[in-house]
Every structure is written in C-alpha cells, then in structure tokens.
Chains A and B, each alone.
Chain A
Amino acid sequence: KAGVTQTPRYLIKTRGQQVTLSCSPISGHRSVSWYQQTPGQGLQFLFEYFSETQRNKGNFPGRFSGRQFSNSRSEMNVSTLELGDSALYLCASSPSVSGNTIYFGEGSWLTVV
C-alpha cells in the first residue's frame, strides 16, 4: 500500500508569490491534516479535513488555506508568501477522525527568498 504522497518535494518561491502543495492520502484514508515544521516553532498544526470539510484549524493567518477533494486528496495554499513561511510542510492521513493512527508523508520543503 502506498504511503502519503506529497508534491512537490522541494520548491523555491519569491516573497509575495503564492504556492500550492498537494497531498494524496493512503488509499482508503478519508482524514487529512497539515503541519508546518520550522526550526524555531517546531511542528505546528495547520488544519484538518474530513469528507471535504475542515474540522479544525490551527493558529495561522488567513493566508494559509486548504481544501479536500471528493477523492480525499488535499491541497494547501499559502498566499503572499513571507520569508517566515519557509518550512517543511507535512501532510498526514488517517482512516477517520478519531482513534486512529496518523501517518505522515515525506513533506514539501518550501524556501521563500
């Protein structure tokens, strides 16, 4: 069974641009969440989706948004990029919304210059 797949793995963007990251969950998993990892702040929860609905949102500005499609694939978007958005963005999936193991992808490395 394939794991959580994230694309692209690496990207460089300029301040002010926007970026879209993609995540394909493990087959059969319907819950997807996103995390940001930085050296200073560590791992922080961004948002969680189940059945195309956002269930939870972390403490991030509105520039960070996401969505989930009917096939459970998810995208997150960051608009008006700032230098501080440089981070590893991790996607995770689980079969449902509670009481399940959460599996992470390899992440998307975003560098903002």
Chain B
Amino acid sequence: AQSVTQPDIHITVSEGASLELRCNYSYGATPYLFWYVQSPGQGLQLLLKYFSGDTLVQGIKGFEAEFKRSQSSFNLRKPSVHWSDAAEYFCAVGARGGAQKLVFGQGTRLTINP
C-alpha cells in the first residue's frame, strides 16, 4: 500500500531564509508525486508535480522539488521564503493508472518569522 510521511509537523523559518520540507513515500514502483499548499480556510493549491523525466521539478511561487528514487523522497525547497508562504504543505503520491486516488502525508505547517 502506498504511504507518505512528512516527518516535520511544524517548521518555523525567518523571512528570507531557505526552506526544505521533507517527504518520504512508500510505493512499489515510480509513483506520481505532488506538493500542494493550503492556506487557512482554503482548498488545496498545486505547487508542483512529478510524473517522469527530469527529477528536479519547478513549480509556482519559486518552489522546486527533487525526486530521489534511491531515498524514496520528494523534498520541497525554496531559496528564500516570504511571509505569504506561511501555510500548510502536503505531499501526495498517486498510483500510475489510478492517479485520482491520492494518498497524502499529514502535512507540515510552515510559520514565517518576520
């Protein structure tokens, strides 16, 4: 069965600092991988996705993520965070041939210090 682990429940960084959110997945083959962001009271907005090809993927709002098959990881990074990046971030895995059924991690809440 697929599973996703986001080891960090809550992270606090200073504005302008770099950010890395961790995501580890368990899946028997190469999955589809997603990062979504959720602001309070809102739905999920897609930041980026990995389906195949280049293992470093670029997303919106200056985010990027790197797929590392050997480590079963798909960590999200941003070189310099802005106060507006404060939100909850979810990593998700989808099975090839059944991409609508996503399995989500528990989420990482990001707080930005001014």
Contact = CB atoms under 8 A, between A and B. Distances in A.
A101 B107 contact: no
Contacts of A98: 96-99
Contacts of A31: 100
A99 B101 contact: no
A94 B36 contact: no
Interface in B16-40: 32, 34, 36
Interface string A57-68: 010000000000
A104 B102 CA distance: 12
Contacts, number: 66
Interface stretch (A14-22, A41-49, A76-84): A41-49
Given A42-B106, A98-B96, A106-B42, A33 B101 contact: yes
Contacts of A35: 102
Interface residues of B, number: 25
Nearest to A56: B101
B83 interface: no
Given A43-B90, A102-B94, A92 B42 contact: no
Contact of A101 (B49, B90, B98, B105): B49
Interface residues of A, number: 28
B111 to A, nearest CB: 17
Interface string B82-111: 000000001010101111111111110000
Which one of A45, A55, A104 has the highest number of Cβ atoms from chain B below 10 Å of its Cβ? A104
A70 interface: no
B100 A56 contact: yes
Contacts of B97: 98
Contacts of B107: 42-43
B100 A92 contact: yes
Contacts of A58: 101
Interface in A23-50: 31, 33, 35, 42-45, 48, 50
Please give me the 4 A-B residue pairs with the lowest Cβ-Cβ distance, nearest first.
A43-B104, A104-B44, A106-B43, A48-B100
Interface of B: 32, 34, 36, 42-46, 49, 51, 90, 92, 94, 96-107
